[in-house]
Structures are given as structure tokens and as C-alpha cells.
Structure 1
Amino acid sequence: MLIHVGYHKAASTVLQDQLFADPGGAFLPPPGPRHALVQRFVVPQPMCFDAAAATRHYTPLLDRAAEQGRVPVLSHERFSGYPPSGGFDSTIIADRLHRCFPQARILIVVREQRASILSMYSQYVSDGGDLNLRDYLSPREPFLKRIPGFSEEFYRYHRLVQRYRALFGADRVLCLPFEEFARSPGPTLQRILRFVGREAPPPVTRTQNAKRAASFQLAQRQVNRWLSANELSHSRAVALGGFRRRFGALSGRLDPRWTAALDRRLERRMTALVRHRFAGRFAQSNSILSELIGFDLSQYGYQTEDTVRD
């Protein structure tokens, strides 16, 4: 089995929809909606997780894959934790996956931290969050930590890679940079296929989720705050059912030229905030990760101890 654990905003959707779900390809995903994986491996309270039941549930998938000569695959970026909550349960999920499938192979795709943080902040707003970027990056009362919040430790990727290597074995964990895939998908896909003992080239195209304009996300935050009650925003004045999602759907219908100047100004401001806040903060982690996975991450813009200047 291959288990793809994320990270968020690192080509997960492309891999899931085009590589793993290719009906004539090397992989066989489980039937049904993808969020069922979250219900089975993430949602159960720690003392309620039933590893035996989870294993039994996916036994038919293993049998079908063996009959068809394909690789069973479980893929969900939530397996690496949820960035706005600091990945507080990432090791809990790793342990659960290992208890169920100790012989699995693990795929981890990372993305340069500052770009990932900005992209995930936009996703947080799309998911229902109402905090501005500065407050999102600075959870209140961090010395108490009563509710999980953003943590830069989540983005020190070497820790999770080391955890999976300790559980499954170093030879069963493949960690790749998103930037290599974005630059040239073919070599990355071939590495994934070779990792599971396959050679056939997959029919994957280079796509990504559409990016919402910064000005639209500014408006979305207000909708989330005042008209929606969800996990990420509790202070609504009036709850209007699915209005948050209906409003979000308008994003694709707006002409980006209308707000281009405002968007550029907002994006420059947010980029400057993130670059200043995390100047050099991930250099040590990225240097360790480069050694672990055999990639010079500095060539893709990652901070490392040898190259960090900001």
C-alpha cells in the first residue's frame, strides 16, 4: 500500500484526481468520498480509535488491488495535520496509520514554507476562517495552548519525515519537493512510480487549484465572521446556512481586472509580513531535511543554513 499524507497546498489534488484515480493506472484508491479517510483515521478521539476495524475495512481494497495487479493507495493531506491548528494531531495520525498498515510505503510532498503559509492562509479563509493574517499567525495565549492554533513548528518538515521513517523505515518513506513537480512533473511522477515498483508513465497534466483574489478573500473573511458559524469562526451575528459557500462560489465569476491594483497591494503586504516574520526561521530544519531526502532544497528557494540571507 502507498499512503500519501500531504502536505496541504503541495499538489495533493493533482495527485489524487489524476495519478491515483486514473482508472487505467498503477494505483487503486478506495471507493467513496475522500473525506471518509478523515472520518476513519482522524476524527476518532484517541481512546476510541479501533485499529482492527479500520484494517478490516480496507482489506477488500487490498484484495482487489492484488487481483488487478495495482497498488492500493490512501491519500489525504489531512493525514499530515491541519496547518491552522498547528498539526497538533499529525503524530497521532501517523501512529494510527502504522498500526493499521505497518508495511505501507509513505509519500510526503513538502512546499517552501513561506509560500505554503500564504497559500494555506487563503485556504483557511475559504474554509471559513475570519482572522486577518497577522492574528492568524499569532494565536492568543500561546502559553496556555488550550485550543490548537497556528504553529511554525508544523512547517519544520524534517520532524514529520523523521517520525514516519522511525515508524515505517527509512526505505519506505519518500519525501519530494512540490517545486520539482511544478517545474517538471515527469521526473517526480516517475520517482513515485519507481518507489512502488512501477514504471509506466501516468497521464497526469500540470494543474492547480484556482487562486482566489486577495480582495475577495478580504470580503470572504467578513462573511465568515458575521454570517457563518463553523469550526474556524464562531462569532457570527446571523447564521445563514450555506451562504458562506455560496458567496465563495462567486470568486470564479468576477473579472480579476476589477480589483487588480488592490490585489497587488494586499499581496505585497502579506508577503512582506510573512518574509519578515519567518526570516531564517526554517533554515536549520530545511538543511536537515535536505540531508534526509537527498535534495538540495535551496535550489527551490527554501531557506537553508548555507544560503539564508533574509
Structure 2
Amino acid sequence: DTAMTAATTTAYQVIEKQIRRTPDATAVVFGEFELTYRQLEARADDIAAALAAAGVGPDAVVAVALSRSPDLVATLLGVLKAGGVYLPVDPAYPANRLESMLHDSAPVVVVTDRATVESVAGTGVRCLLVEEITTACANPRPSLRPDHLAYLIYTSGSTGVPKGVAMTSGALTNLLRWHIGITDSGTDSRVAQFTALGFDVSVQEILSSLATGKSLIIPDDETRADPRALAAWLRQERISELFAPTPVVKAVCEAALEGGFDLPDLREVCQAGEALTLDARLKRFFLDSRTRLRNNYGPAETHVVTSHSLHDRDTDWPTVVPIGTPILNNH
């Protein structure tokens, strides 16, 4: 029985409660740059006010064309606080895909920066440069319900034309409540912001970190693309949680084995988007560590609906990992 009282709070309110608990803890790290939860909220407030002034309110789509950065995290929170619908747009997408997504979703505005504005400048959508957003003079507090939309993400289009999949704030809050209940929390935890921003797991990765008082650590693009560099970065940055698909998990573990080092701080690896299979070397890597391996499953239309955890060192881990059992309020 997975039934639990339905969420009555929005996803942003879940984050806001954590901000009140740990305002001075580190929320986001990118190289030498850090933001506390208090500073992140202040930046999100500024962005939310700018969005509200641009006409954003409940269920209004806001496209976000930014590379991974603290400003992207603040913009995601700002969109949610303004009541908008977060639509991640990768500036590296082909021009026809960008135009198709923006035409189909009809965003009120696209938040971008000077480095990426050219990728969306010709789409006809109003651009808001994040560098030009200054201190807010008003703090928007729209009346939001759990059935208001929180994000809109487009599928890859591998089986045809990409389609937009919208998620309500209530469904997202349910996912966060489940995640909070099954993972360790605390300001000593460090979560890698690895997942591609156009993949729905990135929303869980970012928001679950902030909802539990953890630090979200952002790698640069070169590190993210190189398994050896990524494995070394995970060790150097003392990353405790990694969200990544099976091929990346295997490549990182193989790089660590070849490099002759372990990842002692890595406590949880969440895999989604691929079938999870374990060969002998990958099993040994995890069995020799204290890392829990979690296999999450769910289509884009629902996000995670089932999950299976491998953490018992006294049992034989399967070669093909099952998709597990339903999460809260799923069956």
C-alpha cells in the first residue's frame, strides 16, 4: 500500500521550508563560486519578480535557455515561485528543434544570457537576460494550487516529433516527498548536477537536493563529458549522490577501477532512463563500497513510478536489476 495524503503544498513551498531551516548552508557550488540557501532565495526572488513583471503567472510557460550554472538553478526556483511553468531549452539544440519547441509551447518569455541569447534571438519570443535582472522591488506571491503546472519537458523525438510533457506541482511534490523519505539528508551531502537539463531527471536531481538541505555541485562541461575526468571530479569534490544513466555509471566505475581509486564519499547512485544491468566488474565495484544503487523507472508522462534499491552486501545482486515497486501514491 503506497497511499499517502495527497500533497497540499507546491514544489516551491517544499524548497522554501528547507531554506528556512538551513539559510546559511551551502546550496550551490560551481567552481570557486558558492551560494548559500539564503543567497539562492534572494536571487530567485529577483528573477521571480522580473518574470511577474513580464506577465508570468500560474501556468504561464517560461523557457530557460541557460547552461548549467548557479543562475540556472536560481531561475528554476524563480519560475516556480512566480507560478510559471519551467521549460528547459538547451542552447545547443539545432535551430529547427528550438523553433519547434518554442512555437509549440508559446512561452511568455525566454530567460537566457549573453552567451546563449543568439540561439533563441530569432524565434520571436521575448528574451530576458539573466545578467540584467536586478534587485526586486516586489516579491510575487501568486495563489498556487497543486494542480497548477510546474514544468514542461519535450521528449527526444526518437520515435517521431518531440512532444511536450507537462507535470503538475502536486505530482512533483509527491516525488520530492518520496525522495526525502528514502534518502539521507543533511548539509554534509553533496549532489552532482550531472543530468542533461532537457531530461526530466534533472528536475528531481536539482529540487531534491535543495529540498533536503544538500549542496548541489555543478561540474563544467568538459569534466561532464569525460568519464575519467568525471570519476576524478567525483572523488575530489566528495560527491555523495549521483544521478546518471547506466552507460555513464558503468563508464565512471570503469574509469575509477582503471585509475586504481575508489569513491569513498559516494553513498547513492540513482539510475533512470535505461535498463540497469550489472556485469561482474560493476557488481564488484559496488559491493566493495558502501554505495547504494537505485534503479528508478517511469515514463516522461509520470516521472518516477517505481524504484528498486540495491544496498544489502549479504545478498547476491542480480545481473538484470528489476524496476522495483511503486513509489508513494502510485500502484
Question: Does TM, scored on the shorter chain, surpass 0.5?
Answer: no
More helix by proportion, 1 or 2? 1
More strand by proportion, 1 or 2? 2
What TM-score do you get using the length of structure 1 for normalisation? 0.30
What TM-score do you get using the length of structure 2 for normalisation? 0.28
Instruction: Report 1 or 2 for greater relative contact order, CA contacts < 8 Å, sequence distance ≥ 6.
Output: 1
